Amino acid sequence: MVRGGASTLEYALLGLLHQAPASGYDLRKTFVTTPLSLFSDSPGAIYPALRRLTRRRWLAAVATLRTGRRRQAFAPTSAGREAFARWLRQAPSRDDVVRDWDVLMLRLAFMSGNAPPPEIVAFLEALEVELTGHLAGLQSFLAAAGAKLTFSGRLAFESGIYGYRAQVRWLGRSLVRARKERRRS
Amino acid sequence: MVRGGASTLEYALLGLLHQAPASGYDLRKTFVTTPLSLFSDSPGAIYPALRRLTRRRWLAAVATLRTGRRRQAFAPTSAGREAFARWLRQAPSRDDVVRDWDVLMLRLAFMSGNAPPPEIVAFLEALEVELTGHLAGLQSFLAAAGAKLTFSGRLAFESGIYGYRAQVRWLGRSLVRARKERRRS
DNA sequence: GCTAACATGTAATCCGTTACATGATTAT
DNA sequence: ATAATCATGTAACGGATTACATGTTAGC
């Protein structure tokens, strides 16, 4: 909703359907059998989301295979592909880094094939800016108020620092590889 | 809701009020000025949450300061303190580690003062079990299906690995310190 | 006198969770 | 036969987001 029209679940479904048409049941299985497990496989979430996307004309039902079994597969429309590309192209904000890192990684995961290599590099570069900015903010919080933290409060805070530092390292390595990939294309 | 009665926001408010009575406005400020910024400072979330907690008798309004300004401060009741302690005491599940790491860290942050040191150690030990288990699952997914990942898909996946590995290192260090802390008490 | 900060609220909307319901088909 | 899996749905509920509304007090 926040980012221009659809929920994260809806974009995730839309992205998966970019790879191949699939039914609600297929998509649910994908959520349980892959590290996309951050989404629930609840039918009460997925089927209504598919219908919302269909009503919006971002998805269309494709010809059902003629096995006896009931089954409705979906594929993105051209409007759906455009909306998805717009979603991928959004600049990562500081707020995304703090609250929705997993959504940023979902977007990154979908970029190969759906966005040109330079866009991946630009995305990672923007990520680096926001990430190091946020880390600096955490450090200065620690300097200013660290003395007041309780023992376990400090541990929890340091967990955050460890996590973000790891992502900075990951970013350094990923940027090198993404720039190499860009040159190759 | 999932974990026995209240939303994460409600537990966060309850926890903050364990430190000192505060008003909705105070709590909102806390959310913007500290790394608790994962919560929104929206009045539409906080005031209704405070009222729900009051209706449940987990919070009670305390005497308002006699400045002209309207202001309603809250403090936990004994039932609220018990419920909060129960929340802190829950064993971290695999699912918590995957989907709600930040909630686990919120609970940890509140433990000093609200739970005895051995409980902190037990919490971290349970965390270690689930965390290393989850990491092993990610590794075997990579071994089994890694070849099928796209370029950016692999980058996103590796971001997860980097993050969890960092938490394993953080846990190792934290456990040492927590055990030392336990001996000191 | 005006602006910013203080301080609390409410209403519409949306989406995810939970739980329940239904029926077809494959494997044992 | 019957259990497990395939496959899709619906209804109740709750809570967060957004936006709007209202009045007070302190500082310039």
Checking if the pLDDT of B65 tops 70, the result is: no
To test the contact with chain A by mutation, choose from B8, B37, B155, B181 the residue with the greatest count of A C-beta atoms within 10 A, namely B155
Q: Strand D positions with any atom < 7 Å from protein CB? A: 6-12, 14-21, 23-26
CA A31 to chain centre: 14
Q: Would the pLDDT of A104 be above 90?
A: yes
Mean pLDDT of chain A: 93
Contacts of A167 in chain B (CB under 8 A): 159, 162-163
pTM reported for the whole predicted model: 0.94
Q: For the residues A15-26, what does the mean pLDDT come to?
A: 96
Distance CA B142, CA B158 (A): 9
Residue B63 to residues B58, B70, B117: CA-CA distances in angstroms? 17, 12, 33
Q: Which residues 42-81 on chain A approach chain B with CB closer than 8 angstroms?
A: none
User: Does the pLDDT value for residue B68 go beyond 70?
Assistant: no
Distances (CA, A) of A97 to A62, A103, B16, B111: 36, 9, 24, 26
pLDDT at A1: 39
Residue of A nearest to B162 (CA): A166
> Residues with Cβ < 8 Å from B53, sequence gap 6 or more?
B6, B10, B13, B14, B59, B74, B80
In the predicted structure, residue B125 carries a pLDDT above the cut 70 = yes
User: How far A11 CA lies from chain B's nearest CA (Å)?
Assistant: 16
pLDDT the model gives residue B19: 95
pLDDT tens digit string along B135-159?
999 999 999 999 999 999 999 999 9
Task: Provide, as residue numbers in chain B, all residues whose Cβ is less than 8 Å from the Cβ of A110.
Answer: 152-153
**B2 CB within 8 Å of a chain A CB:** no
